[in-house]
Amino acid sequence: MVARALTIFHHEERGASCRPRPSPSTIDPAEDLRCITTTFQYLQTSGWYWRSISASEAREALLQQSEGTFLVRDSSHPQYMLALSVKTRCGPTSIRINYSRGSFWLDSISPSLPHLQSFPDVLSLIQHYKASGHTPQGQASDDVHPQTKPDPGKHAAKDSVVPLKLARPLHKPEAFPSLQHLTRLTVNRHANCPDRVPLPKPLLRYLQDYPFTI
């Protein structure tokens, strides 16, 4: 099922980011490490985490894909860990993913949306926006080149609204999901409480290791 649309604005300045979020409650460094480790474990299991590819490589991978195809990669911006690259109706683009003290959220430069909803891991964030009707806008693009002098005409075009929908992940060719993982995804999609499915404990643990539908 194709996800309902998000809305973003492209932005030309690499240094732009969202307004400061209120400082969350203090988190133990060990818990902070656990949160980041868990997210990367989920991403590596997903098959659509493309690691350290560049923005141009992500663009090339998504160029011939259908609208709504997406992947997650390492951000090229030094202040961010990850970026979400998506094929929109205007072509591929990338959105930075913020992280602070146990929470992930999409980066925003929109004054009307200084505080976007946060999530305990990136998989939950993407699954939420793929399935929900929320429409955040004003995301800062990770797909920019600071060495290039902005053209005023192109800048105006870049600031236009671009509808963004998340439809399906793009798996790395060498990381296509196994039959076991595809079965797990099917169970997660159709079972209200996968952890209560009448299965042997090892299989239940396998389901719990990746409690997502994408």
E strands, the chain, in order: 6-9, 69-74, 82-88, 91-100, 103-106, 161-164, 168-169
pLDDT for 7-18, tens place per residue? 443 333 333 334
Domain check: are 147 and 164 in the same one? yes
Domain check: are 124 and 113 in the same one? yes
Q: Which of 76, 82, 79, 62 is nearest to 164 (CA)?
A: 62
Asked whether residue 1 is domain-assigned, the answer is no
Tell me what pLDDT residue 165 has.
86
pLDDT for 25-65, tens place per residue? 567 889 899 999 999 999 999 999 999 999 999 999 999 99
Q: pLDDT: is 195 or 119 the higher one? A: 119
Domain check: are 183 and 110 in the same one? no
State mean pLDDT over 162-182.
87
Q: What is the CATH number of the domain that holds 204?
A: 1.10.750
Computed over every residue of the chain, the mean pLDDT equals: 78
pLDDT tier at 198, thresholds 50, 70, 90: confident
Domain tally for the chain? 2
Cα–chain center distance at 173: 19
Tell me what pLDDT residue 128 has.
93
Task: List the domain range (segments joined by +) for residue 46.
Answer: 6-176
**Amino acid residing at 7:** T
Domain check: are 156 and 70 in the same one? yes
Let me know: does 73 contact 82? Beta carbons within 8 Å: yes
Domain check: are 14 and 101 in the same one? yes
State mean pLDDT over 159-170.
75
State mean pLDDT over 173-177.
86
Domain check: are 34 and 45 in the same one? yes
Domain check: are 117 and 83 in the same one? yes
Domain check: are 63 and 151 in the same one? yes
Q: pLDDT: is 192 or 156 the higher one? A: 192
State mean pLDDT over 200-209.
92
Domain check: are 74 and 163 in the same one? yes
Whole-model pTM: value is 0.75
**CB atoms closer than 10 angstroms to residue 150:** 13
Tell me what pLDDT residue 158 has.
46
Domain check: are 78 and 184 in the same one? no
Domain check: are 78 and 145 in the same one? yes
Domain check: are 91 and 124 in the same one? yes
Q: pLDDT: is 136 or 164 the higher one? A: 164
